[in-house]
Structure 1
Amino acid sequence: MDADEDKKSPRNSAQVNGDEKESVGVMKSLRRSMRREAVMSLISPKSKGSKVTHKGDTKESEPLFSPQPPSPNPSTGSSVYSPLKSAASFRGTKGDDESDVAQRKSKSPDLKTEPNLSRLANPLKRSFKSIKKVANDRFSRQQPSVVVLDESKEEEEILEEMEESYKLPDIPHTPLSVMQISRLIEMEVLEEGYLNLLALRLEFQQFSKDSPMELAKMEKDLNLLYGDLRKKVGAIIRDSNSFPSRNKGLLPHVVRIIQEEERRAEEAGGLPDSWMDAWKEAVVEGVRAKVESVHLEEQEHNTSWLSIHLGLLGKAIVEDLESVRRELRWSYPPSFNVFSTYVNSYHQVVGHHLRKLEQRVAKLKDLHALLDWIVNTYKSERVMGSVSLQPDVQVERLDLQLEDGFLTELKERYCFKVKEDIRLSLDRLTDLENEEFWSVNKPPHKDDEFLSAKFPMDIWTTLEGKFSGSRKIDAQLEQKVTSACLEELKHFPKRFEEEFRRNRSNTLCTEYQITYINSFTLLQTHIESYQEACPDQVEGFRKEVKSLILRLLQRLEDQFKEDVKPYLRRMMTRKWLSHDEDFASLYTRAEQLSEHCDLMRPPHAQEMASQLHYHVVKEYVGQLMKDTYRCSDRKRESAADKIRLQWNRLRKLFEDMGSLYEWLHPVGDDLSTIIMSKKTEIKDNIWPLVLKYPDFSKKHLMALLDFRGLRRGREHRLILQTFSNLKNGRGTVDTDQSQVFFRDIPVTVNTDFLSNLPLFCLSVLRPDS
């Protein structure tokens, strides 16, 4: 214990003297034991010679953790000062040296007379001094040092970083042998080994160039010794945070060696590369060893292997940096920026570690876990943003040091995997639909009185899960994932349709088609919510769904048209006038259509009802334009009444179905009026048809008159003349193309030649009746 500590200590001096006497007794016993071991070791044949050898089986002695005393053979004026710290960290006290020398003189006179052991005196002295210094330091640590500032204040321990300044101890005149220096380095007696290495280096610098062989040998020895020192220093630094108590006493020596070598970088005999860079590399190696020691299970043994490993990795990083911040940083001067160096090392090492992990990742969930850990978790309070590391961790320097393009590559791979996963999910839904419904003819479900399938909600839920997961990573990835998913979804309607046509059942084909019209309409409604984010992909999906729905609707319409075709063909015939079976069958089939429309969601129910409404009335009226039946005077009123009755029944049915073609309703009444009118009244009743249906032509009028039984005569001529005048009076009026009706009805009755005959000829052929 030095004088300054004595002044500050409030302990009783008698107690201190007693403790010191006890310590001296212990020291004498240790000194005798160590002298015998050191002498036997140093005089062994292995210690002779100047070559450096490395023995793997050499037993390491316990390292001396306290700073070493100066070499006993200093040269005058050899003390070298750096611009940093006092000499106290490298030397023992003067009192200890004098006491130790006196005791050695009285107990080891043989060293003066024995020539073979005289050269061992200096190393033994230094070893004994070191042992005593360790003992004194331990003794000092056992006695609490308390500075009494006030009776009410408690004891406080204030930790400070090492001072930058230091004074190098005296360098020996004559260095130890190469083997001895190597042994000191191996035994981690770093200060003494380094001072002798510097002495050897000075000899090298001052050695005459006239002896190139000797010079080359000395240079080789220096390189070997410096290599050993570099390895030892690197090992201590690498393990400094793994074994802090073991290396705490060695780090100050390591730090001073690094500082001194950096100062002597331009001098000959040293290593060419930077010792500070070597220190940083050793820190990186220590961090790498820590990262690689984190438990990592095999994928086959645990499906959550990656999430578990990343959780343990984050915990290990925080614990290691906490240790650096709490203990290790105090063994370095501020210029080393120890904590920042360790943080940067973790950025670098973890970045490389994640690249290795990425090569083992095959599943989408593991890719997501890896991305989320890189982008979010690493910078969060669970790792680098931990409260226990604040405020030393700089917020702006929390990013991992990843390889160029690695994160972009990882995101692209994630998007591709999401797209692949979506396709598999969609195919599974199609297979499930086949297993549950098509293959067993199971009726589809109803939802709010409409036929519906479950897969639209399943698809939407799956997509939202993918989008939500990517959104947690970053907005850019969410955009890419959304685009990729919708691009894959665009191909689903056509693939679904192909599977349905391959496996559908004829028994419930109509119900299934209505179900999928409803389901894809609902799915499109969900997808419309992504219009702003991905307009092109949404538009592409919209077109595919529209095409599918049109094809399904067309099949329903074609099936209905095929069913009612024989009934419509027998309208406006002699049998039709006397029997109602065909119309009853037509009406029954139309009622079934109405029931199906009730199961279809708008607007497609109205669209299909409108299209089939148009088809039925067009085919019904079309029978009037064919030369299949001609009414006599006594039959025309019955025919007109029947047309009006059947027309109104059809009109009411299609109104209930929600047909949008209300403009078709007056056609039946207007035609019936003309059929039942007298000849002289017909020309006054044709104007509603001309006004409401501009596409009603002269041929249609002549066919209608032929059905009524009026094929020629004066009135026939006047009716056609009146029609022409009405058409000319309208002029060229723009026709609403959505309300074209008669233009689509072909006329098969040819009576044009009769209309062109002069009026007197017609009167000769047939008198007016």
Structure 2
Amino acid sequence: MAKSPTFAKDIFQRLTSFKRKKKKSTSNNFEINNTEIPQKPSTVLKIREYIQTDMLKKAYLNLLSMRLELQKEWEAVGEGTPPTDLVNKQTEVSMLLGTLRDKMSVIVRNSSALSPCNKELLVYVAYIIQEEEKRQGEPGVMQGWREAWRDAIRDGVQDTLKKVHLDSCEENASWLAVHLELLGKAVVEDLERVKTQLLSSYPEDFKAFETYVSCHHEAVGEHLKTLLEMVTELKDYYALLDFIVHRYPSDLRDKQRTLIMEEDLLNKIKTLYRDRQEDDFKSALENIIIIEKEVWTKKKSPYRTDDGFLTSETYMDICQRIAGYAGNLEKIDENLGKSVVCFCLEELNPFHTRFEEEFSQHTSSLLTSDLLDSCLWVQYHISYINSFNSLKENVQCYEKNCSAQVERLEKQVDGLIQRFSQTLIKHFKTDVKPYIDGMMTKKWLKTDEDFKEVASRIENYRGLCKSMRAPSAQVFVNDLHYYVAREYVSQLMKKKYSCKKSKNEDAAAKMREQWNELKKLFEDMGSSLNWLYPLGDYLSDIIGMENEKKIKDLLIPLVSNYPDISKKQLSAVLYFRDNGFSLEKHNVINQFTVLKRDAGNTNYYHSFFTDIE
């Protein structure tokens, strides 16, 4: 292969010009002049020996001599066919250059791997690379010297990182966090060593520190990919993210230069973390049901707070877990945090459905057992009403980022709480109905047995309701109060009994006494249905009024305060007072009709009599 006739001249010009250039960043300059290049190069074996024994300068000078000699021989051949020994000699030169470059790579790699290094050798490495790059594009010149240098730095950095201590997860639960701490420290120390020990060996145009920073970045990225294959635990995914986002060391000299992780790798870890966290949350919810099943099966009493409210640790576990997710991920990635929290809120919807089903299935037997089990069944309901109310309050803080999920969850929790409350009401109704049905009868007039049973059950619930938090407690107590008042009054409408002679006065006195006792009970429970309290007095007055003429005067406050009372219902009250027909009773009905007509179609603020069949 023919060479340019100016080739030899250019070589010597470059060598002499290099001698004149002084590199401020290089303490040991590799200076060559034309007199140092041997007139006759050493043998191939000798040059290889120079390379193997780190005599880079001697090896390179002899290679330059071989090149010059080879160039003259190529020029002598001209356009003719080159002899075999010339081709072989060209091959030998190429092989020696490859050997030299490999040796340079080993030197650079070792210098990057915390191994003791001869800084002068790095000076020779840098010079040889520069000289070879000047001839890039010329026939027969080997390519990729700078790339080989960079690869050697990267390999050396990888060797350094491989030496960082790494426990197995069996040896140390915090294996990854510990390793990443050591890894960060190793990177910082290595870059510090590069600045203090290696940079002076390279010319400024090599941008050696930037190259080392880039190689550390690349090596750490590859190392993290390897670690990622070993990660299974949620905490370890978080440790990776925290290391990348917060603790991955920046350039010690220039704080604006930060080692930035590949976006694809970072996104992959985020995705894996999110998926693992979602699985973790599902498992946590499943575990909550398992734990609560044990509570129901072993008939454990619910937890009671210092202020006396029944509760379950269920909501606390859920809220603390979501808050933990949100708090950790806020520091990593706002969007990732939002995504995980929204998922958790969504996942609570099927959880609540499953929880309700399991609860109903595993606690229904308590109602068929003794009184203590029945009370425990009620306590469980109250504790979960309180818990889910607290859960609803706690998720309000996520409304800004997860408004749709919060809204759906609130609706579901409200429905769940309402069903739990109605289940308690239904149980109470079933329990007291036989005794309420015994009211307003001849037996009721003679004995207080049935009423005492009703009052006793209200008394039981009074104690339990004090362990229920607002606002559910208020709604529940009002529902109980309304039901008892309605059922008590409705017994008058069934015409089961009519008083004879002065029995109406006895019935009125008993009714007034019992109504006042109910009033005290519900006042103590905190009922806000104050509008119900006067009704017992109005009805007692009508029933106990000796003079029928005066009953008409009692209709005004009754109709005014309870305008939904019907003619049929008033007739039933009068029947209970005395089933005998009289002109005065007829006049009372007529007066009632006039009052109702004058009142017109009133929009009742409180509905009561319309709910009585």
Tell whether the structures are fold-level matches, with TM greater than 0.5.
yes
Q: Assess if the C-alpha contact under 8 Å between 1:321 and 1:342 holds in 2.
A: yes
Q: Does 2:91 align with 1:220?
A: yes
Change (3 A) 1:715 1:255: same
Q: Are 1:442 and 2:309 matched, yes or no? A: no
Instruction: Answer yes or no: is the 8 Å Cα contact 1:185–1:193 preserved in 2.
Output: yes
- On the 8 A contact 1:283/1:342 being kept in 2, the answer is yes
CA shift, 1:225, in A, is 2.4
Offset at 1:633? 4.1
* Alpha-carbon distance change, 618 to 76 in structure 1, aligned in 2, over 3 angstroms: closer
Given that residues 81 and 167 in structure 1 are in contact (C-alpha distance below 8 angstroms), is that contact kept between their aligned partners in structure 2?
A: no
1:614 aligns with 2:482: yes
SS state at 1:396 partner: coil
Instruction: Tell whether 2:286 aligns with 1:421.
Output: no
CA distance 1:306–1:706, change in 2 (3 Å): same
Q: Does 1:198 align with 2:64?
A: yes
Q: In 2, distance between residues paired with 1:180 and 1:165?
A: 21
Alignment of 1:160-559 (within 5 A): 160-162=25-27, 168-170=33-35, 171-202=37-68, 203-204=70-71, 206=75, 207-212=77-82, 214=84, 216-242=87-113, 245-271=116-142, 273-379=143-249, 384=250, 389=252, 391=253, 394-402=254-262, 404-435=263-294, 437-447=295-305, 448-504=307-363, 505-506=366-367, 507=373, 508-559=376-427
Q: Secondary structure at the match of 1:395?
A: coil
CA contact (8 A) 1:85 1:164 kept: no
* Number of equivalences: 589
- Residue 648, structure 1, aligned to residue 516, structure 2: yes
Q: Flag the 1:79–1:451 CA change in 2: closer, same or farther, 3 A.
A: closer
Would you tell me which structure has more helix in proportion to its own residues?
2
Q: Which amino acid aligns with 2:423?
A: R
Identical columns (%): 41
1:722 maps onto 2:604 in alignment: no
Match of 1:672 among 540, 543, 563: 540
C-alpha distance in 2 between matches for 1:315 and 1:509 = 58
**Cα distance change, pair 442–180 in 1 and its aligned pair in 2 (3 A):** closer
Residue matched to 2:4: none
Cα distance change, pair 77–574 in 1 and its aligned pair in 2 (3 A): closer
Change (3 A) 1:166 1:699: farther
* Amino acid in the other structure paired with 1:280: R
Residues 1:86 and 2:19 aligned together: yes
Q: Give how far 1:560 is off.
A: 1.0
Residues 246-270 of structure 1: per-residue CA shift (max 9 Å, x gap):
4323222211111111111121121
Displacement of 1:480 in angstroms is: 3.4
Amino acid at match of 1:169: N
Asked whether the 8 Å contact 2:444–2:450 carries over to 1, the reply is yes
Residue 607 of structure 2 corresponds to residue 740 of structure 1: yes
Counterpart residue identity of residue 58, structure 2? E
Matches within 5 A, 1:6-25: none
Question: Structure 1 residues 669-678 or 481-490, which shifts more?
Answer: 481-490
Q: Which has the larger radius of gyration?
A: 1
Q: Tell me the TM-score normalised to structure 1 length.
A: 0.71
Deviation at 1:682, TM superposition (A): 3.0
Judging changes above 3 Å, is the alpha-carbon distance between structure 1 residues 164 and 558 closer, same or farther for their aligned structure 2 residues? same
What one-letter code is carried by the residue in structure 2 that aligns with 1:691?
Answer: S
Asked whether the equivalents of residues 26 and 200 of structure 2 are also in contact (C-alpha less than 8 Å), the reply is yes
Aligned partner of residue 120 in structure 2, secondary structure:
coil
Deviates more, 1:179-188 or 1:408-417: 179-188
**In 1: Cα distance, 2:55 partner to 2:79 partner:** 32
- Which secondary structure state, in structure 2, belongs to the residue aligned with residue 240 of structure 1? helix
Deviation of 1:346 after TM superposition, in Å, equals 0.4
Paired residue secondary structure (1:209): coil
Displacement of 1:564 = 0.8
Describe the superposition over 1:73-101 as per-residue Cα deviations: whole angstroms up to 9, x where unpaired. xx999733258542699xxxxxxxxxxxx
Structure 1 residues 406 and 79, CA gap change in structure 2 (3 angstroms): closer
SS at match of 1:327: helix
Q: Decide whether the 8 Å contact of 2:157 with 2:219 is kept in 1.
A: yes
Given the superposition, is the C-alpha separation of residues 360 and 722 from structure 1 closer, same or farther in structure 2, using an over 3 Å criterion?
same
Partner of 2:3: none
297-306 or 237-246, which moves further after superposition? Answer: 237-246
Query: Structure 2 CA distance, aligned partners of 1:234 and 1:299?
Result: 36
Q: Scaled by the length of structure 2, what TM-score is found?
A: 0.88
Inter-partner Cα distance in structure 2 for 1:717 and 1:728: 17
- Who is 1:10 aligned against? none
* Map 1:39-50 → 2, pairs under 5 A: none
Relative to structure 1, is the Cα distance of residues 259 and 305 closer, same or farther in structure 2, using a 3 angstrom cutoff? same
Tell me if structure 1 keeps the 8 A contact 2:25–2:204: no
Task: For residue 317 of structure 1, report the CA deviation from its aligned partner.
Answer: 1.6
2:492–2:572 CA contact under 8 A, matched in 1: yes
Q: Tell me how far apart the structure 1 counterparts of residues 259 and 381 of structure 2 sit (CA, whole Å).
A: 54
2:5 alignment counterpart: none
Q: How far off is 1:244 after superposition?
A: 6.2
Aligned Cα RMSD in Å?
2.9
SS at match of 2:310: strand
Query: How far apart are 1:165 and its partner, in Å?
Result: 9.8
Show CA shifts across 1:568-622 (max 9, x none): 1111112222222111221222211212212222222222221111111111111
Q: What CA distance in whole angstroms lies between the structure 2 residues aligned with 1:539 and 1:553?
A: 21
Partner amino acid, structure 2, of 1:400: I
Compared with structure 1, are the counterparts of its residues 245 and 639 closer, same or farther at alpha carbon in structure 2 (3 Å cutoff)? closer
For structure 1, which runs of at least 5 residues remain unmatched after alignment? 1-74, 90-158, 747-769
8 Å CA contact 2:112–2:160 kept in 1: the answer is: no
CA spacing shift, 1:333–1:266, aligned 2, 3 Å: same
CA distance in 1, matches of 2:493, 2:27: 112
Q: Distance in 2 between matches of 1:245 and 1:661?
A: 89
Query: Given residue 573 of structure 1, which amino acid in structure 2 is its aligned partner?
Result: T
CA distance in structure 2 between the partners assigned to 1:450 and 1:189 by the alignment: 85
* C-alpha separation in 1, matches of 2:574 and 2:427: 34
> In structure 2, how many angstroms separate the alpha carbons of the residues matched to 1:310 and 1:684?
90
SS where residue 249 of structure 1 aligns? helix
Distance 2:96 2:415 in 1: 82
Amino acid at match of 1:287: V
Rounded Cα–Cα distance in structure 2 between residues aligned with 1:167 and 1:701: 126
Q: How far, CA to CA, are the matches of 1:359 and 1:712 in structure 2?
A: 94
CA contact (8 A) 1:295 1:309 kept: yes
Q: 1:243 to 1:294 in 2, by over 3 A?
A: closer
- Of residues 706, 709, 719, the one that matches 2:578 is 709
Query: Is the CA contact (8 Å cut-off) linking 1:705 and 1:711 kept in structure 2?
Result: no
Structure 2 distance, partners of 1:84, 1:480, is: 63
Q: How far did 1:638 drift? A: 2.3
Deviation of 1:167 (Å): 5.2
8 Å CA contact 1:622–1:745 kept in 2: the answer is yes
**Distance 1:334-1:704 versus aligned 2 partners, 3 A rule:** same
Of residues 600-609 and 332-341 in structure 1, the stretch that sits farther from structure 2 once superposed is 600-609
